Structure 1
Amino acid sequence: MEKTLIQRPGTRMFSINFDFSSGEQNQILQYLQASAYRLMGYKGATGTNQITSGVPAWFAIDYSNMFGMVDIDYEPEYKVYVFNKSMIAPNTTIQMQALSQEIPLGTAVSFHPDGSFSIRGTAPAGVITVRNERPLGTPDLTIGLAARVDGQFLPFCAFTSNAQGQVSMEPNENIVLFAAQTNMTPGAVTGYTTNPGCHFMFSAKNTDYDLQMIQGTYGITNAPRGAFVDKVSSGQSLRELLNR
């Protein structure tokens, strides 16, 4: 899992860390690998016309790809994506069929009928707005934001947009993690936590979260001396946890 991340000047880096190098954590990892678990990660956002069926998985990492020290690095940088379907049921996997350049928060964007994007002007601080410039009468779309995790932009929120309409999207730093026996991939829409996990919020004070797996339940908690996280039980609404 070697990776090289280049941090841009002035960009804050956040990190989720596990240590599977020895002891009980290594034994748990062996079980998770043998039982086809994935680490599911979700990130929050609020705004107009957010889909009601759930939240797109931001990342889904197979435990079989993990060993030793595992670092998942996140930079608060965003792109706008568009998916040409608007009926988003649970377990739908969102596809980023059109993807913009990096868009700073506080920017207003237009999405054009040919699948391209352009900057329209400014938006409220912390918000990205997107106007759907497709002609009246064309089908609704799903529009959302992708955030950079481990150097790759992946979708984490989804909103319904009608032709000549506008959505406003405000990302936040609420994060939910849980381990699940699943074949879901990034973009898979999930309504509820399917296993115990944890919830926390990145901030200027807490940019790094050192975590560990829990024996028996395979939930997730903070490692000793790591920043505190709230435990999450199975069956909790992801929208309620993330959109605070």
Structure 2
Amino acid sequence: MTTFTIEFDFNSADQKAVLSALQAQGYNLLAYKGAVGPNQLTAGVPTWFSVPFGTMFGLVDIDYEPKYKLYVTTQGNIAADTTIQMQSISTALSLGSAQTFNSDGSFVSGGVANVPADSLGLFNNRPAGTPPLTVGLAGLVNTPSGGAQYLPFCAFTLNPQGSIMMKPLETILLVAAQQNLKSGNVQASVSAPGCTFAFSANIVEYYLEVLPSTYAITNQGGKPSVSPVSSGSTIGTIVNSGS
């Protein structure tokens, strides 16, 4: 299994000065990750992970493995700034497989036929007439402040006795912002200048730095380039249009 890495190096005098300013002003590193599927949440995209710059120093690695779990919650009509709570969560699953979610909160194998090799399927086995569920994928990430965790990065509405196929994308959006958000907090637009990039078989590590003054994030000189994202951009359009 490939491990993808996001790396910051705060050892230089310039980057130490930037880090000190970020820490003094209460900045957090916020990440969003793409996915596609039917009936995706229209209010925004769940924050995948949030790492306080106050927990960072020196060489900082954030490692992500393309390993996934399915989650389910009864939360409905989710608006921006709502934090999704993963009420039930499956075991780690291989892409190309499916699970059935039962009324008692359990997951069992199967329930959706012909799931593509790059997706996961879920069948909602709750009785007809029960309220729709909010469902999604949680991806495994290892951060300086949280350790290795499966954290939600997408959300879809799934009716009872209905099925869904969800495809994770390797599109990542990073923002340094003065927002104290938890993982799962739904955001509609980028709150500060950021950057987007995509992991692939050819690029498994991105070496990044935070620019002084604007605190925008860019790639280190000579390293794989990232695309700048301006404040106010729509998060869903950025992360969910990748391939």
TM-score in terms of structure 2 length: 0.95
* Equivalent residue number for residue 164 of structure 1: 161
**Distance of 2:199 and 2:74 partners within structure 1:** 32
1:45-194 aligned at under 5 Å gives the runs 45-120=35-110, 122-150=114-142, 151-194=148-191
Q: Which amino acid aligns with 2:124?
A: N
Q: Tell me how far 1:22 sits from its aligned partner.
A: 2.4
Q: Which residue of 2 aligns with 1:207?
A: 204
* Cα distance in 1, alignment partners of residues 34 and 157 from structure 2: 16
Paired AA for residue 91 in structure 1: D
Matches of 1:223 and 1:83, distance apart in 2? 40
Structure 2 counterparts to residues 37-48 of structure 1, below 5 A: 37-48=27-38
Percent identity, please.
48
Q: What RMSD, in angstroms, separates the aligned Cα atoms of the two structures?
A: 0.9
1:97 Cα deviation (Å)? 0.7
Q: Whole-Å Cα distance in 2 between the matches of residues 181 and 167 of structure 1?
A: 35
Is 1:226 the counterpart of 2:223 in the alignment?
yes
Q: Cα deviations across residues 73-122 of structure 1 (Å, max 9, x unaligned)?
A: 00000000011112110000011110100111111210010111011165
In the alignment, structure 1 segments of 5+ residues that lack a partner are: 1-10
Aligned length: 234
> What secondary structure does 1:146 align onto?
strand
Partners in 1 of 2:223 and 2:25 — Cα distance?
27
Query: Which has the larger displacement, 202-211 or 124-133?
Result: 124-133
The alpha-carbon deviation at position 167 of structure 1 amounts to: 1.7
Give how far 1:154 is off. 0.3
Deviation digits for residues 153-186 of structure 1 (CA, Å, limit 9, x no counterpart): 0000000111111121000100000011011111
Q: Secondary structure at the match of 2:91?
A: strand
Is the 1:142–1:159 contact (alpha carbons within 8 Å) kept by the matching residues of 2? Answer: yes
Q: Residue type matched to 1:243 in 2?
A: N
Q: CA deviation at 1:129?
A: 1.2
Length-normalised TM-score, structure 1: 0.94
